Structure 1
Amino acid sequence: MADITLSSAVRSNLNTLQQTASFMSDVQNKLATGKKVNSALDNPNSFFTASGLTSRANDLSTLLDDMGQSVQTLKAADEGISSITKLVESAKAKANQALQSQSQYERKQFASQYNELLTQIEDLAKDAGYKGKNLLAGDGNDLTTIFNEDSTSKLTIDAVDYTDSSLSTGLNLSDLAEGQGATTSFTLQGGKTTITLTDGTTTLNSSSSLSDSNVISTTTTLEFVDAIDSPNAIISGSDTVTAGATVQDLVDSLNSISGVRAEFDDTNGELTIYSDQDFHISDTVDTHSAALSTFEVAATALASTGALLSDTGSFAVGDTLTLTDGNGFELGSLEIEDDTSVDDLTNFVNDFQGVSASFNASSGRLDITSEVDLSLTSDNADFASDAFSANTTGVSLSAISDSGFATDSDINRVVDRLNTALSSLRTQASEFGTNLSIVENRQDFTKNLINTLEEGAGLLTLADTNEEGANLLALQTRQSLASTSLSFAAQADQNVLRLF
C-alpha cells in the first residue's frame, strides 16, 4: 500500500472523513453511556475526583442501610416498652382491686393474677428483639450505629434488662407470695340426759326447792365432777349446790360450767343436761365417789352427718356461727336451729371459695382446710370448749404463709413499686425516643449527602445529551459533505483516464 500514491485532494478528504468518524464515535459513546468522562483518558482530574465522590457515596449508602436496621431495632424496643407499660398498668389495677377487697381469698387470687402479669412482662421483653438484637434483654444487646465512613461519628444505645422483672436495675418488681393454706380440725361430741323432777306426785317448777325432789336428799350437797380428765375431781370453777337451793339454782350452776348446758321445762318438770364431756353430779362431799346415776352424762363423738348440733353442750338453738378470715372479713354466718345437723355445718363451710370441710364419722372430727387464715366463732361461750374450759377464740386456722396482698400495707408497698416501675418505663421510652430521633435525623442527613455527592460526581462526568445530540448531527452532516468532497476529488483523477 505504500506504493500507492493518493492525490492531495483525495488524501485531504480521506483524513477529514477519518477524523469525523472518530469524533462521531466519541459522541456516540457519550450518548450511549450518558457520561462525557468514561475513563481517566477522557479527563483525569474529573474522572478521579468523581470516583472519589462516588466511592464515598457508596460507603455512606451501606451505612444508610445499617441506620435503617437500627431504626427498626429501636422501633421494636419502643413497641416492647409500650406493651410492657400496659401490662404494668394492669398489674397496678390488680393491686388496687385487691386494696378494695378485705377478703383474703380474693386478695390471694389477685396476687396470683399479678404474678402472671409479671411473667407476661418478662416473656414480652424476650420477644422484643429485631434481627438478633434486643434492647430490652440487657447485657450483650447494646446497639451501636455508625454514621460516617471512618467510624468516628457513631451512637451507642445501652440496652436495659426487662427479661427479669425482679432486677433492681430494671423494673424491680418481684413475684408475690401466693400463700399456702393449712388444715385444722375439732371434734363434734356431746351427750344429754333428761330427768323429771317430781316430789313423788307432782312435777317441780324452776322455783321449787331441790329438797322437794324425790331424787335428792334434803341433806345432800351437790358437786359437779369431771369424769374424764380428773376422775372424781370437782370441775374447776364450778359451785356446789346445797339441798336447800331451788331448781333454778341448779340450772344456773350447770350453765356456768363450760361445755355444759341445762334446760328446764316448767310445764313438765323435765331437766335436760347437755355436755361435751363425761361428767356426773356427786352427792357426797369431798369423796365425790357416790354419783347420782340419774345425773350422769356420757359424751360421745357425733357419729353421723345427720346428728343434731343442738344435742351437744357447744351448740344451742339460736346460736350464730360466724366464719371470718385473717383480715376480719366475714365470709358468712349460720344460725343454729333445732334441726341443724353436722351435715348442715359441713355444707356451710364448703359454701365459700378457698375453704373446704369434711366430716369423719368414725372420729366425729370436722376437718377444715383453708387457703387463708380462718376463724370459726360462735356467740356461745361454750363453743368448742375443751376439758370444761371455754374456747374464747373459737376454731382458728393459720395459713402456712400469707399472700403478698394479705394486708393493706403489703399492697401499698407493691403499688409504690409499680409507680416507680411506670416512671422508669416512661423515662426509658423517652430515652429510646431521643435515640430514634437522632438516628432518623442522621439517616435523612446521609440520604441528602449521598445525593449531593452523586450530583457532584455527575457534574464532573455526565454528558449533556442535548449538546452531544447536536454534535452528532453536525458530525453526520460533516461526514456527508466529506464523502461528497471525496467523490469530487476522485472524479478529478478519473478525468485523466479519458485521455486514453
Structure 2
Amino acid sequence: MISFSSKAPMGNRFRGRIMDITLTSAVRNNVLTLQMIGDQQSVIQNRLSTGKKVNSALDDPRNFFQASSLNNRANDLGRRLDGMGLAIKTIEAADKGITALTRIAENMAAVSKQAADSNSAAERATLLAQFNELRTQMINVARDSGFNGTNLLAAQNLTVAFNEDATSTMSVTAVSWVAADPAGVPAGADWGDADLAVGAAAIATSATAVNNAIGSLRTQAAAFGTSLTTVKVREEFTKGMMNTLKGGADGLVLADQNEEAANLLALNTRQQLSQQALSLAAQSEQSILRLFG
C-alpha cells in the first residue's frame, strides 16, 4: 500500500488516503489462495481443539439439532437409571429382610417343636416367652427393611419408571408385616396351661402358623426376586440404549482426529507452496524494474 503524506498545504486534503494498487493476476490469485487456506486452517484447528466437526447450529443445523435431541433423550434416561438403581436397592433391602425373617421363623418352628415334645407346663411357658420374643423381632426386622424411604415389608408399594416419559412402569406390591401378626404369625398363648392337652393344642396352632409363615416368606421372596430381575434387565437395557443414543449423537458431531490432522498437514503444505508461488510472482514484477536499472 502507498499513502500520501506530503506536508505541503495543497497535499493536506490527500493525507490518509490510499492509492489504488493494481496487482497482477498471478499475485492476486496467490493472495486469494493463501486467504482461503488460512480460513480452512482455522476451521480445522478448531475441530482438533474441540474434537467436534459441528460445534454450533451454524456448522450444520440438521446434525447439530439431531445430536442435541439424542443427547437430551440419553440424559433423560440417565435420570431414570438413577431411579432404577434406587428401586433395585429397595427390593434388595426387602429381600434381605425376608431372609432374616425366614431364619427367625425357622427358629420359632424349632421352639414350637421343642415345646410340643415337652410334658412340663413350666418349660412350655418358658418356651412360649422365647417364641413371642422371636415374633417381636420379626416385626422389628420388617420395620428396618426399608431403603430410601420405601419399605416393601411395611405396605409401601414401589413404582419404577423405565423410559423418559414414564409411560413404561412397573409396580412392586408391598406386604404389611409390621402389624400385629408378622407374616401371619399371631402371638402364642396358653402353651403353659396346666391342662397339657390345652397347651398342646395351642402349641400346634402356633406351629401351623409358623409353617404357613415360612411358606409365605418363601413365596414373597420369589415374587420380589422376579421384580428384582426385571428391574435389573431394564437397567442393563437402559444403559445400552444410552450408549447407543450418545454414540449416534457423537457420530453426527464428532470429528475424525486422524482425518483432520491429515487435512491440516495438507493445508500447511499448500500454504508453503502458495507462499513460494507468490514469491515467484513478485520476482517476475521486480525483473521489470531491472530493465530501468
When normalised by structure 1's length, the TM-score is 0.53
Aligned counterpart, 1:114: 131
SS of the equivalent of 1:156 reads: strand
Which has the larger share of helix? 2
Is the 1:118–1:165 Cα contact (8 Å) retained in structure 2?
Answer: no
Secondary structure at 1:155 match in 2: strand
Indicate yes or no: 2:112 matched with 1:100. no
Q: Which of 202, 207, 210 matches 1:415?
A: 207
Matched, 1:485 2:273: no
Amino acid at match of 1:151: A
CA distance in 1, matches of 2:169, 2:183: 29
Cα displacement (A) at 1:179 = 8.2
Deviation at 1:178, TM superposition (A): 7.0
Q: Is the 8 A contact 2:153 2:177 kept in 1?
A: yes
Q: Pick the aligned partner of 1:494 from 261, 286, 291.
A: 286
Q: Which runs of 5+ in 1 are unaligned?
A: 182-324, 329-405
Q: Are the counterparts in 2 of residues 165 and 171 from structure 1 also a CA contact under 8 Å?
A: no
Letter of the structure 2 residue corresponding to residue 71 of structure 1: I
Give the corresponding residue for 1:5: 21
Report the equivalent of 1:161: 176
Structure with bigger gyration radius: 1
Distance verdict in 2 for CA 1:179–1:409, change over 3 Å: closer
Aligned pairs, number: 275
Offset at 1:114?
0.6
Q: Is contact 1:136–1:160 with CA below 8 Å preserved after alignment?
A: yes
Residue matched to 1:146 = 161
TM-score of the aligned structures, taking structure 2 as reference length: 0.88
Per-residue deviation, 1:159 = 1.5
The counterpart of 2:82, out of the listed 43, 60, 65, is 65
Q: Distance in 1 between matches of 2:108 and 2:179?
A: 16
Deviation at 1:111, TM superposition (A): 0.5
Secondary structure in 1 aligned to 2:242? helix
Q: Deviations over 1:446-468 (max 9, x none)?
A: 11111111111122222122211
CA distance in 2, matches of 1:4, 1:77: 88
Structure 2 SS opposite 1:413: helix
Q: Deviations over 1:361-401 (max 9, x none)?
A: xxxxxxxxxxxxxxxxxxxxxxxxxxxxxxxxxxxxxxxxx
Residues 16-43 of structure 1, C-alpha deviations (whole Å, 9 max, x = no match): 1110011111111222222222221222
Q: CA RMSD in A?
A: 2.0
Stretches of structure 2 lacking an aligned partner (at least 5 in a row)? 2-17
Tell me by how many angstroms 1:4 deviates.
Answer: 4.1
**CA deviation map 1:54-108 (0-9, x unaligned):** 1111111111111111111111110000110110111111100100101000000
2:44 aligned with 1:27: yes
Counterparts of 1:4 and 1:410 in 2: how far apart (Å)?
118
Amino acid at match of 1:33: T
Aligned to 1:468: 260
Looking at secondary structure, tell me which structure has more strand per residue.
1
1:15 aligns with 2:27: no
Structure 2 residue corresponding to 1:177, chosen from 189, 198, 202: 189
Residue 234 of structure 2 corresponds to 442
